[in-house]
């Protein structure tokens, strides 16, 4: 994936994050230095995630 991006930055937007059953999925994107936008209607949706 890094080879495909080169000098470009990838932005990943995940809507309805409170519906995720696997919280390791966002971590995969951060390994490749992607910018994550996490959207949820529940203000406590991200409380259980590691910073």
47 in any annotated domain: no
Task: Give the chain's domain count.
Answer: 1
What are the tens digits of pLDDT across the range 12-46?
888 888 787 777 777 777 777 778 888 888 877 77
Better-scored residue on pLDDT, 48 or 15: 15
pLDDT of residue 50: 61
pLDDT of residue 49: 65
**Given pLDDT bands bounded at 50, 70 and 90, which one contains residue 1?**
low
End-to-end Cα separation, the chain, in angstroms: 23
Better-scored residue on pLDDT, 11 or 46: 11
7 in any annotated domain: yes
50 in any annotated domain: no
Place of tokens 């991006």: 5
18 in any annotated domain: yes
45 in any annotated domain: no
43 in any annotated domain: no
21 in any annotated domain: yes
26 in any annotated domain: yes
Note down the domain range covering 30: 2-38
């Amino acid at each position: 994936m890094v080879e495909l991006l080169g000098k470009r930055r990838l932005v990943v937007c995940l809507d309805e994050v409170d519906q995720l059953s696997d919280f390791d999925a966002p971590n995969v994107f951060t390994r490749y230095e992607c910018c994550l936008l996490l959207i949820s209607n529940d203000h406590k949706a991200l409380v259980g995630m590691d910073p």
